[in-house]
Structure 1
Amino acid sequence: MVGNASRATITDDRRITGLSADVIAELVAEIGPLWPERHQARLASRLRKRAVGAGAKYRLLFVDRLLATLVHLRHGVTHDVLACWFGVDRSTITRAIGEVLPLLAERGCTISPGARLRTLAEVIDHLGASGKTGSIDGTEIRVRRPTAGRKDRDRFISGKNKQNAVKTMVVTDKGGRVLFCSPAKPGSCADITHARQLGLVKVLADGPAVEILADAGYQGLGAQTGGRVITPSHRKFKMNAPDWYEEMHERQRKAHSSRRIQVEHGIAHLKNWRALTRHLGRREHMSHTVQAVAGLLSHQQTADLTSARPT
């Protein structure tokens, strides 16, 4: 196990975890009580040959389990390296990350101290109540290729990048703060199809009147949502377009792109967490990984905005 000096070094240096010491302290206070409850419930939920509590005891404290998970998400550090750093076996690190990651993913995205958004409907309600404009976009994360002979092996091949990937939809506000990250879908799923499967059309139809900016991959949602989703205008001339039309179309395209550039910045901040640049683990864990990183990033963004406001 790491000593108090090493633990303090990890928490005090934001470059290691991507989070400030205050945010890490809030995570420990929030998730610390949930972890033993979840662990005991899992032990009691199955038939056992030994009583609950028997066997080897955990050598890794919860705060160290949390720090190992944060370092893994931030820098993509392998479990072997973390095991050497924390002085435990690799299987201990694997189990620790597997237990902490779902707890981080369930937190949702923080918009203010004590206020979280966990569903797409809550995001739309928040944007409608605050009168803010939202932006949506899809991003892809490379994953390992499924083994030969596996059913639906080609589902993970992205039509855009021609690589095996999973896709998630990101929603940000006009300031680029992450409000929502969807569960991961195979890379062959189109952006507009993913949005429809998430229920975006129904949520916008039943929710308040909001403005959602999107790129050309979502063209068609505007007509289905009563104009709430705004995409670049269709190109009317595919060949031999007049010069005046080319100039007008390019001006409109750039104006729309400059309005929705904040969602690209939000995705860039997500990709600063190395676990989302290329995933070498099991694809089934990607949804928890993406949503955990989104929750941590939004928590830190909210903390930075709160501390920057004049008192």
Structure 2
Amino acid sequence: MIAELVAAVGPLWHGRHQARLESRPRKRAVGAGAKHLLVFVDRLLATLVHLRHGATHDVPACWFDVDRSTITRAIGEVRLLLAERGCTVAVGVRLRTLAEVIDHLRASGQTGIIDGTEIRVRRPAAGHKDRDRFISGKNKQDAVKAMVLTDATGRLLFCSPARPASCADITHARQSGLVKHLADGPFVEILADVGYQGLGAQTGGQVVTPPHRKFKKNPPDWYEEIYERQRKAHSSRRIRVEHGIAHLKNWRALARHHGRREHMSDTIQAVAGLLSHPQAATLGPGQPQ
């Protein structure tokens, strides 16, 4: 996989680096001057170690015998390139936007599963104007939230940019354009939890959520039995998205993020893209994860 990443991402990095050199006013020829102490392969390895194991930038700086700022700059460049690659669904086929994911589900006739996940982050400094926006109403902790979409087998198809955790799941889905993308085109089934109740009416029943409880007080026994059976049937169908989120959280950079919050979107999308590649290689159509 490392060789494939080098072949796919390396030319992009070299192209952007060359364009950046040519865009600035220069007094010497392009390519002259000091050379990189850190080649691209080492930059890629430092980024992967940071994402997978949550190692601070000082650790790879010590390994490669360069300054910490060099590692910080390298990780920032490579992480952005990894995030832009999207999620792999087949050889040579990658999905980068939510619209592409919906089109893929329609073309393949698969069911999508959607859910939100929260990642703890450092609390903004005192006096920061948006300090309270990152407090999760669910966990009462400072966090950011991302929307994850998988297929019925749990393969990652899409991770949205991160938003402050105070944003509700249904609001996050609307702002990401889910309702708009489902409005145009054939029917596609999207399973969701109670946090998305209300989207079913807006999407013509394409977003399926658990059944509403009709009796809030003193429900008859026959209704409780039917309600529990329907709720468990829905839960057993959408459990695969929880497995996909669990695989994401195995990467230490997403277990708890200690870096800058503005880098969180690139981090989660880069990890999703890296994780989707082996999933596409090992999981066949309809094969459980």
SS class of match (2:283): helix
Q: Which runs of 4+ in 1 moved over 6 A?
A: 48-51
Q: Please state how far the C-alpha of 1:43 moved relative to its aligned partner.
A: 3.4
SS class of match (2:141): coil
SS class of match (1:226): coil
Q: Please state how far the C-alpha of 1:53 moved relative to its aligned partner.
A: 4.5
2:201 paired with 1:223: yes
2:236 paired with 1:258: yes
Q: Please state how far the C-alpha of 1:243 moved relative to its aligned partner.
A: 2.1
The 8 Å contact of residues 121 and 207 in structure 1, kept in 2 or not, is answered as no
Q: Determine what percentage of the aligned residue pairs are the same residue.
A: 81
Q: Which amino acid aligns with 2:89?
A: I
2:93 paired with 1:115: yes
2:188 paired with 1:210: yes
Counterpart CA distance in 2 for 1:130 and 1:191 is 26
Partner of 2:20: 42
The 8 Å contact of residues 156 and 166 in structure 1, kept in 2 or not, is answered as yes
Partner of 1:3: none
Partner of 1:12: none
Query: Structure 1 unaligned runs (5+)?
Result: 1-22
Q: Please, which moves more after superposition, 83-92 or 134-143?
A: 83-92
Counterpart CA distance in 2 for 1:37 and 1:62 is 12
2:181 paired with 1:181: no
Partner of 2:171: 193
1:1-311 equivalences under 5 Å are 23-46=1-24, 53=31, 55-305=33-283
Query: Structure 2 unaligned runs (5+)?
Result: none
Counterpart CA distance in 2 for 1:50 and 1:170 is 48
SS class of match (1:150): coil
Q: Deviations over 1:168-189 (max 9, x none)?
A: 1000001100000001111100
Counterpart CA distance in 2 for 1:85 and 1:98 is 18
Q: Which amino acid aligns with 2:267?
A: T
CA RMSD of aligned residues (A): 1.6
Q: Please state how far the C-alpha of 1:86 moved relative to its aligned partner.
A: 2.2
Counterpart CA distance in 1 for 2:217 and 2:160 is 38
Residues 46 and 151 of structure 1: is their aligned pair in 2 closer, same or farther, counting only changes over 3 Å?
farther
Residues 120 and 51 of structure 1: is their aligned pair in 2 closer, same or farther, counting only changes over 3 Å?
same
Q: Please state how far the C-alpha of 1:55 moved relative to its aligned partner.
A: 5.0
Q: Deviations over 1:15-35 (max 9, x none)?
A: xxxxxxxx2111100111111
Q: Please state how far the C-alpha of 1:48 moved relative to its aligned partner.
A: 6.2
Q: Please state how far the C-alpha of 1:153 moved relative to its aligned partner.
A: 1.1
Q: Please state how far the C-alpha of 1:145 moved relative to its aligned partner.
A: 0.5
Counterpart CA distance in 1 for 2:122 and 2:185 is 38
Q: Which amino acid aligns with 1:256?
A: H
Q: Which amino acid aligns with 1:277?
A: A
Q: Please, which moves more after superposition, 263-272 or 242-251?
A: 242-251
Counterpart CA distance in 1 for 2:174 and 2:161 is 14
Q: Please state how far the C-alpha of 1:247 moved relative to its aligned partner.
A: 2.0
Q: Which amino acid aligns with 2:152?
A: K
Counterpart CA distance in 1 for 2:34 and 2:139 is 47
Residues 49 and 218 of structure 1: is their aligned pair in 2 closer, same or farther, counting only changes over 3 Å?
farther
Residues 211 and 59 of structure 1: is their aligned pair in 2 closer, same or farther, counting only changes over 3 Å?
same
Partner of 1:10: none
